[in-house]
Amino acid sequence: RVSIIIPVRNRPKYFEQFYQSLVNSTKIPFELIIVDDASDEATKALIEEIATNPLIPTFVFTNETQQGYARTCNRGMQEARGEYICLASTDILVTPRWLDKLVKAADVIPEGGIFGPSTNIDNKFQIPPECANPKLDPTTIDILARRLEEQYGDEYKEVPIYAFCYLLRSSMITQIGYYDEQFGIGMGEDIEYRYRAHYHGWKEIWVKAAFVYHYGHKSIQNEFKHKGAYIIFKEQQKALAEYVIYSRYSSRGTSMSDQLDLSIVIPIHNEIDYVRGCVASVLRHTEHFELILVNDASDLDAQKAIVQIAQNDSRIRVLHNDEQLGFGKTCNKGIANAKAPYICLLNSDTLVTRGWAAKMLAVAATDEKIGLIGPTTNFGNKFQEIRAAKRIRSPAHVDRHYEKVIEPLTRGQSVCRYLTAFCWIMSRKMIDDIGVLDEQYLLGMYEDLEYLERAWMRGYQSVWVKDSFVYHYGHKSFEAAGVNDKRWKERNLKLLEKTRAARGISMKQVQKWMKQYAG
């Protein structure tokens, strides 16, 4: 009746203790699904030993590279066959009849989709008075579990349930889907999932008489060498969860499928192979968006290809310039037709990665004075580049390199005066306040610096979101448009210097900014 899914990432000591408690305290029939998220050798050896137990049907699945909590759980859910699915962290200990009590509650409360036990830490909603002891001795928990059973019997309560250990109804999963995978290595996906369940009419039920001891975030803390990095990560994931929840489930009269968070504007002048790759990556890694392709007088074959790209997806619109207008005017045309509260200007010679937009939008939502947001990249701006991104051997390796190498290294965000416009997210509020790109720069170059400085002069911040990553081939868009000509650079630089002089911005001030944000 029950599939117990255990996502495993190192920490074999805790996993072994949990497994022993599972064997000793679980009588109801179950299948065990272990998904190893690229653990160390000691953990792999333990998993191999556990899998040989003939008394418990055990299925092991292995991620070759670390995929994170959500993807690892999703892989287990896809393999599960039970009427109920239990997701259990490795840093817990279960007590006698814990699963029987959860299943019993699920059998008698058909509107319940998520069922959780009592515990000792982490979630105040699931901690009864008897368990409110941060120094609770794990060797005494069986005695405590008997007390809870006598005290509460079949008493249930509707409260928020946390994912360290909970029982999910398979029919609910069929309806609302699996975890949102944009949360990376973990934390926040359970909160979004709870809101999604509520959105579809399911309830969360606390089964008071069931008890599961929780050591507390040992699984996720294992990923961080320093406590400070873990704290920053928690805040970042919280912001991402809050943004996703607000954008999808807030009471603005908009259903999940209709919600539009982001208008992505891609100016295009030929180089159609890069365009195809860029659009494919956007469709694969972005949610709740519209895509506006602005054709800046490409040749006939490229125009046909652009129209063909948009034919089979209602989220894509195509606009055409009869003559080549350049970067600024082409972007402004897209902005004028955009419908979302945030607008992304994205070069056609880029590839986006998992969670790229959601992570930047989560930061944008924290402060209305954040006007421009940019990602980490491999090419184009020393302020946004990291060394690990430069080791990508081929565009075909971008997704894997990001998830395996770049994402674990990048956390948080910082104010960054100079964000390159190969990928910008801009707030509609700021655009309405300070206007669009200056079209005097014609084909392009330096209009991004002018715009950044204009935004800063009006009190808006530009922020680099470090764990959002967009791969940049590098100047392919400009080369196709003929912008890399030395005369264009000299002309537009003189125009920028003239604008700076009119605003009272000295070269000394510019150098100070660049030095201040070089890190």
| 298 pLDDT more than 70 | yes
Closest CA to 183 of 234, 120, 253, 129: 234
Residue 195 sits in the same domain as residue 232: yes
Give the span between the Cα atoms of 442 and 22, in whole angstroms.
68
Residue 174 sits in the same domain as residue 279: no
- Give the confidence band of 513 by pLDDT, cuts at 50, 70, 90: low
Stretch 427-438: mean pLDDT: 94
- Residue 51: its pLDDT value, please? 92
Q: Residue 255 falls within a domain, yes or no?
A: no
Residue 223 sits in the same domain as residue 345: no
- Residue 483: its pLDDT value, please? 57
- Residue 252: its pLDDT value, please? 41
- Residue 237: its pLDDT value, please? 76
- Give the confidence band of 392 by pLDDT, cuts at 50, 70, 90: confident
| 254 pLDDT more than 60 | no
- Residue 397: its pLDDT value, please? 82
Residue 180 sits in the same domain as residue 273: no
Q: Residue 460 falls within a domain, yes or no?
A: yes
Amino acid at residue number 436: V
Give the span between the Cα atoms of 361 and 366, in whole angstroms.
9
Residue showing tokens 């002089």: 501
Q: Residue 105 falls within a domain, yes or no?
A: yes
Three-class secondary structure assignment of 73-138: HHHHHHHCCCCEEEEECCCEEECCCHHHHHHHHHHHCCCEEEEEEECCCCCHHHCCHHHCCCCCCH
- Residue 253: its pLDDT value, please? 37
Residue 175 sits in the same domain as residue 46: yes
Question: DSSP assignment, residue 38?
Answer: S
For 360-369, 390-399, 420-429, which range has the lowest pLDDT when averaged over its residues? 390-399
Q: Residue 287 falls within a domain, yes or no?
A: yes
Question: DSSP assignment, residue 515?
Answer: H
Q: Give the CA dihedral 201, 236, 263, 306, nearest 10 degrees.
A: -110
The model's pLDDT over 451-484, given as tens digits with 9 standing for 90+, comes to 988 998 888 989 988 889 999 988 766 665 555 5
- Residue 223: its pLDDT value, please? 67
Structure tokens at 146: 């008997």
Stretch 234-238: mean pLDDT: 73
Q: Residue 146 falls within a domain, yes or no?
A: yes
Q: Residue 137 falls within a domain, yes or no?
A: yes
The pTM of this model reads 0.56
- Residue 391: its pLDDT value, please? 79
Q: What is the mean pLDDT of the chain?
A: 86
- Residue 518: its pLDDT value, please? 44
Q: Tell me, what CATH number does 19's domain have?
A: 3.90.550.10
Sign of CA dihedral 306, 310, 316, 320: positive
| 507 pLDDT more than 60 | yes
Phi, psi of 184 (to 5 degrees): 65, -130
For 194-203, 216-225, 318-327, which range has the lowest pLDDT when averaged over its residues? 216-225
Residue 224 sits in the same domain as residue 283: no
Residue 269 sits in the same domain as residue 233: no
- Residue 155: its pLDDT value, please? 93
- Give the confidence band of 404 by pLDDT, cuts at 50, 70, 90: confident
Residue showing tokens 């004028």: 336
- Residue 519: its pLDDT value, please? 39
Stretch 139-157: mean pLDDT: 90
Percent of the residues in the chain that have a pLDDT greater than 70, as a whole number: 89
Structure tokens at 182: 């944009």
| 54 pLDDT more than 60 | yes
Residue 117 sits in the same domain as residue 218: yes
Tally of structural domains, the chain: 2
Residue 213 sits in the same domain as residue 289: no
Give the span between the Cα atoms of 233 and 231, in whole angstroms.
5
- Give the confidence band of 256 by pLDDT, cuts at 50, 70, 90: very low
Helices 356-364 and 227-249, axial angle in degrees (round to 10):
90
- Give the confidence band of 86 by pLDDT, cuts at 50, 70, 90: very high
- Residue 445: its pLDDT value, please? 78
- Residue 411: its pLDDT value, please? 66
| 228 pLDDT more than 70 | no
Residue 288 sits in the same domain as residue 327: yes
Q: Residue 254 falls within a domain, yes or no?
A: no
Q: Which residues, 6 or more positions from 366, have their beta carbon under 8 angstroms from its beta carbon?
A: 239
- Give the confidence band of 412 by pLDDT, cuts at 50, 70, 90: low
For 4-8, 92-96, 134-138, which range has the lowest pLDDT when averaged over its residues? 134-138
Q: Residue 246 falls within a domain, yes or no?
A: no
Residue 299: exposed, middle, or buried by beta-carbon count in 10 A (0-12, 13-18, 19+)? exposed
**Residue range of the domain that includes 178:** 2-240
- Residue 363: its pLDDT value, please? 86
Where does 256-299 have alpha helices with state H?
272-285
Residue 285 sits in the same domain as residue 136: no
